[in-house]
Structure 1
């Protein structure tokens, strides 16, 4: 069974927000989606071209008032809306496998000193605490600049997932460090 390319749905979804250009999509990906879904800048424009070719999006040339240059703006078509809704309504049939370098290293850690594993865990714990702080900042930003858009509710839901899983990882790191620290 071939792997489905979800980039198409990422771009269609972004077209339902304020994102109209590849650049604005990249900014939105970097500041929100990147915490749970990776899309490279190099995927955006080829995917937009495919969406236009398939009639799922439309492209128009617009003059940018700031620098008087023409830029391409995209919008989702009704066919694109239907495609996105169809995908959103499909059930999730499997849990994706997470690639986690720390877990991979811990799995084989009998080959190094225990202190090395504890150091790895402390480093990971620090990164997780930094991530949690970023999530909390994003949450405050969404709440303070709230425009009442229905999207905001769902953005906060996905952010809550990130906060909860990060808190669980922090707790796991702390407990694992305590466990390994015992003789």
Structure 2
């Protein structure tokens, strides 16, 4: 899978796992599984099972009809992370969170999430991954047009999912 497509899947997994980003109005998440190759999300092959969630997403538009901001809130999906090599698992129940995303004209975005959020960083991100971290508090990051994530701030409690599974 190309790096750009892996990044899209990683972003989808994070979004779905945390909030199951969906159309405006109350909806249920689509359950899915994804496996990240070794040295992508963790040092080992990482499986993620995503189930449930009840988010609500609102989109905000400029005068030309372009989406300039999204706000997603609600109960996130249940997540089960698996070290594919050892079979070890870590399960997280879906909790509440709010994510505000500012979409810039150049295709980049700035994201601020509060509550319970999982952020997966690849080796091409800043700081360089592989890492899969649960943030309970606030986490902010920028995403450039090439889908490179740059962590800009974090506060609260963190759990290193890769260490938990190692």
**Higher share of residues assigned strand:** 2
For Structure 1 versus Structure 2, the TM-score category normalised by the shorter chain is: under 0.3
- With the length of structure 1 as denominator, give the TM-score of the two structures: 0.23
- TM-score, L = length of structure 2: 0.24
Question: Per residue, is there more helix in 1 or in 2?
Answer: 1
Instruction: Choose 1 or 2 for highest CA Rg.
Output: 1
